[in-house]
C-alpha cells in the first residue's frame, strides 16, 4: 500500500465513482429514430427549395463524414441525453461555441487588417454551451475523416490527442495574459498543409472571383452570370431583398460602416449547391458597388437564411434571446464577432418576409480546408495541432474579453484550472467519447443510406 496517493489518482477514482470517465454509451442501431430526426429537421424547408434538399441527401450519402456534416442536429439531440463531462463546471458550461466544429469549417481567410490566416469560417450554429462540445464534435470529425483517408484507429486517436494537447497548451498560454486578442496563425508560424492553405488563399484575387461569378453586360455594367448554381430571382424577391438592405446597413456598427453608395445593389442571384448542413435554406449572392464606381472593385455579399442553432436543442434558452433580439441572423453575426479577430466589416443581418438572414462578404481570399490532403499521420497530426490552437483562440477571445454580459469569466483561466494536472484523464475522456460516437455515426449513416435507397421520405 503506497504511503502517498497522488492528487491525479484521487481525481481518477472520483471520476470513476461519479461515472464520468466515459461520457458516452455503446453505439446502437436506431434506424427509425434517425429517419425521423432527419425528416423533422429538414421538412420545414421542403416547400421552399426541395431540389436543394435532394442535393443535401445525395451529399450526405457520400460518406460517414459528410453525413456527420449534414446532421449536427442529431449530434445535439445526443448531447441533450448523453452524460456530461467530468471537466465542466458552472463557469465552463455556458461559453461561446462555434457549434458545428469540424474540419471543413476551418479555412484560409484574409481578415479585415489584411492578415492571411488559418481560422474558423462558419458560425451558423454559434451558441452558448459547455466548451467540451466543440472539442467532442471536432474529435469525432477527425476520427471519421482519418478513417476515410485510410489511417488506422490508433493513429487517428493519436491525432485527436494532439488536437487536444494543443488546445489545452494554448489555453494555458493565454491564461493570465491578453495574448489571445492578437493571436493568429499565419504562414510564418505554420507549416505543411495549413501553411499551403494560407498561401493559396493569399494568392487569390478579387478579379478572379468577379470573373468566376460575374460579367460585364452590353452597357458595361457588372452583373452576375446565370449558371446552374446562380439562378435569377423573381422581381418580387429582388424588390424584397433590395428593401431589406437599409436594415442590413443599420446592423453594421457605425465605426465599420461605409458610405451608403458602397452598398448600392447591382444584381442578385439565388446560389444553389453550397455547403451541406445548410442546404435547403435560402442563400443569395448580392453584387454591390464597393468602394468606387469602377467595375473591378465590386463586392459580392453572401446572404444566408438562418434558423435556430442546433446547439439550442441541447440547451434551450441558454443564450438569452435578448442578446440577439430574437433574430437568428443577429445571433450568427454576434458569434462571428465574438470568435474572430478583425472581423469582416461587411458582416451584418436583416430580415426578408419574416425570414432572418446573415450577410458577409463572399471573400476572394477564403479557401476551405481540404481534409483529403491529410494522407499521412504526420500531415494530419500537424494540421490538427493548428486546429486545436484555433479552437482555443475562439473560446478565449469570446469570453469576458468580448462581452462580459454574455460570458462573465475568463474561459482560458477556467478551462486551464479545471483540467489542471489531469490532462491525460481529460484526453482519455474526449477520445473515449469520440471513438464510441464515431461508431454511432457510422451506424446512423448506414441507417440513413438504407432509408434513402428504399425511398423513405426524408424531407
Mean pLDDT, the chain, rounded, equals: 94
Cell numbers linked to 400:
469576458
Q: Which residue has the cell 491525432?
A: 159
Query: pTM for the complete prediction?
Result: 0.94
| pLDDT the model gives residue 23 | 63
**Phi/psi-derived region of residue 254, left when phi > 0, alpha when psi is between -120 and 50, beta in every other case:** alpha
Is residue 206 predicted with pLDDT exceeding 60?
yes
- Assess contact for 301 and 242: CB atoms under 8 A: no
Burial of 255 (0-12, 13-18, 19+ CB in 10 A): exposed
- Assess contact for 437 and 140: CB atoms under 8 A: yes
Please state at what angle helix 72-81 crosses helix 31-42, rounded to 10 degrees.
120
pLDDT band at 181 (very low <50, low <70, confident <90, very high): very high
pLDDT digits (tens, 9 = 90+) for 386-423: 999 999 999 999 999 999 999 999 999 999 999 999 99
pLDDT band at 448 (very low <50, low <70, confident <90, very high): very high
| pLDDT the model gives residue 22 | 53
Percentage of residues of the chain with pLDDT beyond 70: 95
| CB within 8 Å of 419: residues ≥ 6 apart | 87, 168, 426
| pLDDT the model gives residue 24 | 65
| CB within 8 Å of 153: residues ≥ 6 apart | 143, 147, 435
| CB within 8 Å of 336: residues ≥ 6 apart | 123, 126, 343, 344, 347, 360
pLDDT digits (tens, 9 = 90+) for 311-370: 999 999 999 999 999 999 999 999 999 999 999 999 999 999 999 999 999 999 999 999
Query: Smallest Cα–Cα separation from 426: which of 388, 400, 372?
Result: 388
Cα 422 to chain centroid distance, Å, stands at: 28
- Assess contact for 342 and 189: CB atoms under 8 A: no
Is residue 82 predicted with pLDDT exceeding 70?
yes
Whole-number Cα distances in Å, 274 to 40, 281, 284, 448: 21, 10, 11, 21
Instruction: Assign 416 to helix, strand or coil.
Output: helix
Amino acid at each position: 500500500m503506497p504511503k502517498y496517493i497522488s492528487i491525479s489518482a484521487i481525481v481518477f477514482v472520483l471520476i470513476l465513482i461519479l461515472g464520468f470517465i466515459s461520457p458516452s454509451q455503446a453505439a446502437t442501431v436506431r434506424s427509425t429514430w434517425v429517419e425521423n430526426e432527419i425528416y423533422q429537421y429538414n421538412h420545414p424547408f421542403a416547400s421552399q427549395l426541395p431540389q436543394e434538399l435532394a442535393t443535401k441527401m445525395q451529399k450526405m450519402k457520400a460518406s460517414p463524414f459528410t453525413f456527420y456534416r449534414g446532421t449536427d442536429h442529431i449530434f445535439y439531440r445526443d448531447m441533450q441525453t448523453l452524460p456530461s463531462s467530468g471537466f465542466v463546471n458552472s463557469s465552463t458550461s455556458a461559453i461561446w461555441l462555434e457549434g458545428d466544429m469540424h474540419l471543413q469549417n476551418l479555412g484560409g481567410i484574409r481578415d479585415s487588417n489584411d492578415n492571411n490566416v488559418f481560422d474558423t469560417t462558419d458560425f451558423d450554429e454559434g451558441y452558448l454551451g459547455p466548451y467540451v462540445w466543440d472539442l467532442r464534435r471536432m474529435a469525432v470529425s477527425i476520427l471519421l475523416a482519418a478513417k476515410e483517408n485510410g489511417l488506422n484507429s490508433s493513429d487517428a486517436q493519436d491525432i485527436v490527442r494532439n488536437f487536444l494537447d494543443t488546445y489545452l497548451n494554448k489555453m494555458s498560454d493565454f491564461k493570465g495574459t491578453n495574448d489571445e486578442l492578437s493571436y493568429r496563425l499565419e504562414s510564418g508560424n505554420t507549416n505543411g498543409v495549413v501553411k499551403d492553405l494560407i498561401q493559396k488563399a493569399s494568392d487569390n484575387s478579387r478579379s478572379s472571383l468577379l470573373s468566376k461569378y460575374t460579367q460585364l453586360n452590353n452597357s458595361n455594367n457588372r452583373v452576375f452570370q446565370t449558371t446552374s448554381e446562380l439562378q435569377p430571382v423573381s422581381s418580387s424577391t429582388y424588390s424584397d431583398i433590395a428593401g431589406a438592405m437599409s436594415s442590413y446597413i443599420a446592423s453594421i456598427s457605425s465605426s465599420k460602416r461605409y458610405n451608403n453608395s458602397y452598398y448600392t445593389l447591382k444584381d442578385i442571384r439565388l446560389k444553389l449547391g453550397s455547403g451541406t448542413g445548410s442546404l435547403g435554406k435560402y442563400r443569395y449572392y448580392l453584387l454591390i458597388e464597393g468602394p468606387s464606381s469602377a467595375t473591378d472593385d465590386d463586392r459580392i455579399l453572401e446572404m444566408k437564411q438562418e434558423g435556430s442553432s442546433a446547439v439550442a436543442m441541447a440547451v434551450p434558452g441558454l443564450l438569452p434571446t435578448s442578446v440577439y433580439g430574437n433574430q437568428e441572423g443577429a445571433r450568427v453575426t454576434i458569434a462571428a464577432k465574438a470568435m474572430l479577430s478583425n472581423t469582416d466589416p461587411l458582416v451584418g443581418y436583416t430580415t426578408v418576409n419574416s425570414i432572418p438572414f446573415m450577410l458577409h462578404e463572399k471573400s476572394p481570399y477564403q479557401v476551405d480546408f481540404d481534409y483529403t490532403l491529410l494522407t499521412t499521420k504526420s500531415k494530419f497530426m500537424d494540421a490538427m495541432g493548428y486546429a486545436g490552437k484555433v479552437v482555443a483562440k475562439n473560446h478565449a477571445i469570446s469570453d469576458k474579453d468580448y462581452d462580459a454580459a454574455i460570458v462573465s469569466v475568463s474561459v482560458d483561466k477556467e478551462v486551464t484550472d479545471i483540467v489542471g494536472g489531469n490532462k491525460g484523464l481529460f484526453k482519455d475522456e474526449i477520445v473515449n467519447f469520440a471513438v464510441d460516437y464515431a461508431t454511432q455515426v457510422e451506424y446512423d449513416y448506414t441507417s440513413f443510406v438504407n432509408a434513402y435507397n428504399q425511398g423513405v421520405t426524408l424531407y
